[in-house]
């Protein structure tokens, strides 16, 4: 696939390798390019080097070094990254979890376990049109 045929580039921040592999395969099958980060530090590094190409961030909430809420707030506080939509991807489905992710600066919310049949459509709703 040529890069210009991609529907867009997604930064997927997820510490679990099984989840990363599954989501990468699903998104690539839907013609998205995927950049991966396993933790907050790596996510910021990827944004620093590739932010011009990143159209959307899928953010795991439960990560060991810095949770997704904190990382989302940090990314949104950096001017050059603040316009990139961030979608929380989480198994947290208790009352208030969705609101907490939106308060942190997430633009949307995708619940785990992820429905791989609808993931492409869910992602498309949030993509930046550059």
Indicate the burial class of 100 (C-beta count within 10 angstroms; 0-12, 13-18, 19 or more): middle
Mean pLDDT score across all residues of the chain: 90
Strand spans (E) along the chain: 9-13, 33-37, 54-60, 86-90, 108-111
**Backbone φ, ψ for residue 60 (5° rounding):** -65, 140
If we measure between CA atoms, which residue out of 95, 96, 94, 70 comes closest to residue 86?
Answer: 70
Tokens of 28: 């690539």
Q: What is the pTM of this model?
A: 0.91
Tokens of 6: 């991609």
pLDDT of residue 6: 84
Q: What is the pLDDT along the chain (130 residues), one digit of tens a residue?
A: 444 578 999 999 999 999 999 999 999 999 999 999 999 999 999 999 998 899 999 999 999 889 999 999 999 999 999 999 999 998 877 778 888 888 999 999 898 889 999 999 999 999 855 4
Task: Give the number of residues written for the chain.
Answer: 130
pLDDT of residue 1: 44
């Amino acid at each position: 696939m040529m890069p210009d045929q991609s529907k867009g580039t997604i930064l997927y921040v997820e510490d679990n390798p099984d989840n990363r592999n599954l989501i990468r395969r699903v998104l690539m099958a839907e013609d998205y390019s995927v950049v991966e980060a396993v933790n907050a530090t790596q996510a910021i590094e990827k944004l620093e080097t590739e932010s011009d190409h990143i159209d959307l961030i899928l953010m795991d909430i439960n990560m060991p070094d810095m949770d997704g809420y904190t990382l989302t707030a940090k990314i949104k506080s950096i001017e050059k990254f603040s316009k990139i939509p961030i979608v929380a991807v989480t198994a947290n489905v208790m009352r208030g979890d969705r609101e907490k992710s939106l308060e942190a600066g997430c633009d949307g919310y995708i619940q785990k376990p992820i429905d791989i049949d609808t993931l492409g459509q869910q992602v498309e709703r949030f993509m930046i049109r550059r």
